[in-house]
Structure 1
Amino acid sequence: MIRPGQRSIVALLAGLVAVAGSFAVSGLRQSFVVAPVDAVVVRATPAELVAFAIEELGYLGELLAYLTAVALTVVLFATANYVGLLVADAMAARVSIPSRVSVAVLVGGTTLVLAWLLSGSALSSVGAAAPAVVLAVAAAPADPGSPDGTVDSVRRRVLAASAGAVAFGALSYALGSRRATDIDHELPEAARAADAATLREQADERTLEIDGIPGLVSGIDDFYEVDINNVDPVLEASEWTLSVTGAVDSSFTVTYDELVDGDVRTGYNTLRCVGEQLNGDLLDNAIWTAVPVATLLERADPGGGCECVMVRAADDYYEQFPIAALERGFLAFGMNGESLPREHGHPVRLLVPGHWGEINVKWVTEIEVLDREVEGYWEERGWHGTGPVNTVAKLWTVNERADGRVQVGGHAYAGSRGIETVEVSVDGGDSWEAAELSEPLPSEHVLGERDAWRQWQYTWEPPAGDHEVVVRAIDGTGTLQPAEEESPYPSGSSGWVSETISV
C-alpha cells in the first residue's frame, strides 16, 4: 500500500502528468483539459481585478490567469487521484486484489472520467489517464505483504516517480508545443497575396529610418494579441458560418466560400487596445484582406429600436455597439498576404475602422441586430470602449547620434480622423516644434480612409543636462490631443506622453 504521507505526493504527481499528457496530445486547443478551467477563471475574476491586470500587468496578467487555471486543473486531478488511491488501498487490504491492479483501475478510471468531463475528447482523456496510471502503478507496491512494500522501498519508488513526472512533463511540453497552432489554409486567390505584397512595398517606401520603432506594417508575429482566452478557438474555414439575425427583414447564414466570393478589398487598418497604457505598445497596423459588412446588412435590411448590434464569437465573446459603426466595417480573412492566423481570429474576424480594438471581434460567428441596448462583455465589467479611439502620439525611442544630436520618435494614431501634425517640446511644454512625419499611407488603400498610423521623428542638439520631452498630436480635423492624462479604465488612455532625457 502507498502510505498516507506519500499518497498525497503520488496523487499530485499523477495530477501533473495527467495535465501534461493531455497537453501532449491536444496542444493549446479546446480539447486540452485546462481550457474549460481557464474559461471559468477568466469569467469568475472580479471586474476590479481584471481592470488592474489589464492596466498594470498586461500580458503578465494573462499569464498569471493561465497559470492559475493550470494549477487548479492539477489540483482537480490530484484530488480525484487521491480518492482513487485511498479506495485502491482499502480494496487491496480487504480483498485479494494486487495493489497495482486496484491502483490502475481506480486512478485510471477517475482520471479518465474527469478528463472527459473537462475536455469532451476521447484522445485528450486517454492522454491524461495513461501517464497517471503508469506513475501511480510505479509508485505502488505489488501487494501489501511484498518486500517492495517497506518504507524505504516505497520512498525510492516515489522519488523515481517524481523524476519521471518531471521528465514526462518536459517531453509533453515539447510534443504539445509542436502541434500546429495555425490552420493550414491559404487565401482563396494568389492575386490577393500579391496585392498585399504591393502594399507592403508601398509602406516600406514611406517608412522613416528610426531605430527602435516598428515600421508602418507590423509583422503577424509582432502584432499585439488581446482577447478573453488563453486557449484560442480552432475553427476550420470549411465549417465556418456567419449568421445575421435579430431585428431584420431577412435572417440568413453565409459560409466562408460565399463570403470570400464577395467584394474583396485589400488595405491597411490600425488597431489599438482600449486597455493599453498611454505610451504602451498595444497598437499595430497590418494589411488586411476583407469584404465590407455593408453588403450583408443591406441584404438583411435591419430594423430594431436602438440602431445597435451585438456581435458574437466562437469563444463566447460578445460586444454591442452602434450599427452605424458596423456599416463601415469589414470581415477580414487575410492578414499581410496570408490566411488570417488562428490567434487573430481565423477564419474570419471583424474590423471596424477608427474604433477601439474590443469591437473588432475575432472568430466572429453572429451579427444580431438588437431592439434595445444591452451591455457587451467588457461593458459588463465597467469598460466603455465601443466608441472611436482617442488620439495619441507615442514616444517609443530615444537615439543618441554620433554627432551629439538626439533623435526621438514613435507612432501617432487618431483612428479614422487621421494624423495631421505631431508636435514635440524639449523644454517641458514651454515651446513646440513640428516633428517630421512619415508620408500618409494612400487613403484609397486604407480600409477606413485615414485609419492608419504614422511615424514621427524629431532630432535636435541638446545642451548638457536634463530635458523633458513632451509629444502631442493634432488629428485630421485640426483637434489637438487633450493634455490631461487619463488611465485606460474605463474609456481608454489619453494625455500627452513625456519623458525626461539626460545628456
Structure 2
Amino acid sequence: MTRSRFELPPRLVDWSILVTVGFVAATGLLTLISGRPSDAVVFALHGVGGLALVLLLFWKLRRVRPRVTVRRAWDRHTPVSILLALLAVGALATGAVWSFGVTPRLGPWPLLFVHMVLGALVVPVLLVHLRSRFRLPSTHDFEGRRTALSSLAVVGFGALTWRLQRTANRLLDTGGEDHRFTGSTEDGSDAGNAFPVTSWVADDPDPIEADAWTLRIGGETRRELELTDSDLDPENGHRATLDCTSGWYSTHDWRGVRVGDLLDAVEPGTEAEWVSFRSVTGYRWSLPVEEAREALLATHVDGERLDHGHGYPLRLVAPGRRGFQWVKWVEAVDVTRRRDLGEWLAIFVSGFDR
C-alpha cells in the first residue's frame, strides 16, 4: 500500500504508537491527582496525545487491514491485535464523546470511568502484543526530511484537533465548555448533602455512632490528643470544590476544624513533614505539613451536618486535591517524618475486610 505524503515508515508508526500510548497513560495517571487550575496543562497534554494517537492508529489500521479482514491471513497473535485495536478505539471514542459534553452512563458507570478503564487495559494488552510484533526501527527509517515532517504532522494534528474541538464546543454550545478543566461536570453545588455519594473501591462502612467514635491526633508530636464528637468546634470554614475522578464536581461551603489548629495543639516535631489522615475503613492519604495546616476536617456542608455517605462525623477537605484524596470517616491524624507510601495500597484494599 502506498504511503501518504506525511505518513511515517511502518516501524516508526508502530514505535510512535508505543511512545504515544505511554505518554497518554502517564498523563492520564497524573490527571487523577491534579486538581489545581495550574494543572490544566496536564489535561491538555493528555488530550493532545490522545488525538495524535488517532492519526497513528489510522495509519496502522490501514496498513494491517488485509491481515485482519482476510481470515486465512490470521495467525495465533491476530486475536490479541484485534482486541488491542478495539480497546484503543473504545478509549479514544469515549474520551472524545465526553469532551464534547455528552455524558451518558453505561449501566452503573459514567462514560469517563469507562474511558479510564479502557485506557488502562490498553497498556497490558499492548505489552502482550509487542511480544509477538516487536521490531526495532532501522537507521534508514529515521533518514530524510520526510520523517521529520511526518513526526511534526502527528504532533500538529493532535494539537490542532484539540484546539478545534474546544472551539467547536464553544461555538456549537455542546456542553463541553461547561466542563471544569479536569473534564468533570457540575453536580449538586451549594445543595448541602444533595451531591453524589461515591466511595473508592470497597470503602463502605456501617453508619458511625457518635458516642463510639473518637479522633486521635499524634505521631511525631510532643503530645497526643483525643477528641470526641462533642469536642469538635466547627468554627472555621472553607469554600472549596470537590472534584471526583468519576467525572463530576461540586462546590460547597464547608465548616469544621482547621487542621493547623489541631497540629498546634499537639506540636509536631522539627523533622515532621507529612500528615496522614486515616479513615475507619483503613483508607488513608497524606498531605505535606504546610498544605495540611490549611486543610479542614469538616463536620458540616452548606450549613448541614454531614450525612454518613459524605463522611460523618468528619471528612477531610483538601482544596486543590481530587475527591479520592478527601478522606471520609476520619478517625486518626498522624504526623510523620516520611510519606506513608503504603497509602497507595490502602486506598485499593480498604473496606474489603469489613
TM over 0.5: no
Higher relative contact order (CA 8 A, sep 6+): 2
TM-score, L = length of structure 2? 0.43
TM-score, L = length of structure 1? 0.31
